[in-house]
Homo-oligomer: A and B are copies of this chain.
Amino acid sequence: MGSKKTTDAKTFDAQTFLDSAGAAREVVEYPRSEILFSQGDAATSVIYIQKGGVRLSVVSHAGREAVVAMLGPGDFCGEGGLAGQSVRTATATALTPTTVLVIAKEEMIRVLHAEHALSDRFIAYMLDRNIRIEEDLIHQLLNSSEKRLARALLLLAHYGKQDKPDRILSKISQATLADMVGATRSRVSVLLKKFTRLGFIDVRPAGITVNRSLLSVVLHE
């Protein structure tokens, strides 16, 4: 809304600012399904996503998985290392072919001082991320699995953009959805069936079409 041009993910070019600060950085490309880092790895760098998409997930001792976030271009990732975390607490997996900037921890700290545009972008990201996670947490605290799934579908379908019903990229398994909303796969299967029956969504091989009317599920108490 009120943000300056340089803090906007669309127009912001991290590489330029890193260069002007003489900061070492490395451009790396990952094919689909490749792992950027794993839970438990040493956290020595911060990653800036240029193109593609990344899934952040955590597995419990019992082997159960939880999807913490889905990140895209302009997002940072692994920034916990800048605070006390010496180790990655989640696993980052490329959802699609993905290009990232790998920035060493110390470099990142230094550049945050040297380049306002980059620190602006970083702070903007942190604020957004905070808001997103907080909303997820609130939904977990307040809602049933049915509403949580409805919300997740709406968010994944990029709601708030156009008027028309939008599409979710084809490849999202019921298992991943279950891990995002904290439910079992069988429950997701049943709920998707229910939503389909009610005309809220349309499941087809190419992907899931989400109808705006699905909002009623989230809103109605």
Contacts and interface: CB of A to CB of B under 8 A. Distances in A.
Contacts of A58: 138, 142
A186 interface: no
Given A1-B84, A79-B127, A83-B124, A219 B182 contact: no
A10 to B, nearest CB: 14
Contacts of A119: 112, 119, 123
B141 A221 contact: no
Copies of the chain in the assembly? 2
A206 interface: no
Interface stretch (A22-30, A61-69, A164-172, A195-203): A61-69
Contacts of A155: none
A184 interface: no
A137 B133 contact: yes
A193 interface: no
A156 interface: no
Contacts of A182: 140-142
Nearest to A79: B127
A189 interface: no
8 closest cross-chain pairs (CB), A and B: A83-B127, A66-B141, A141-B182, A140-B140, A62-B221, A126-B126, A1-B84, A137-B137
16 contacts: A58-B142, A60-B142, A68-B137, A68-B138, A80-B130, A82-B127, A83-B124, A83-B127, A83-B131, A84-B131, A119-B123, A122-B123, A126-B126, A126-B130, A133-B133, A141-B182
Given A58-B138, A79-B130, A141-B179, 7 more contacts: A58-B142, A82-B123, A126-B130, A133-B134, A136-B137, A140-B182, A141-B182
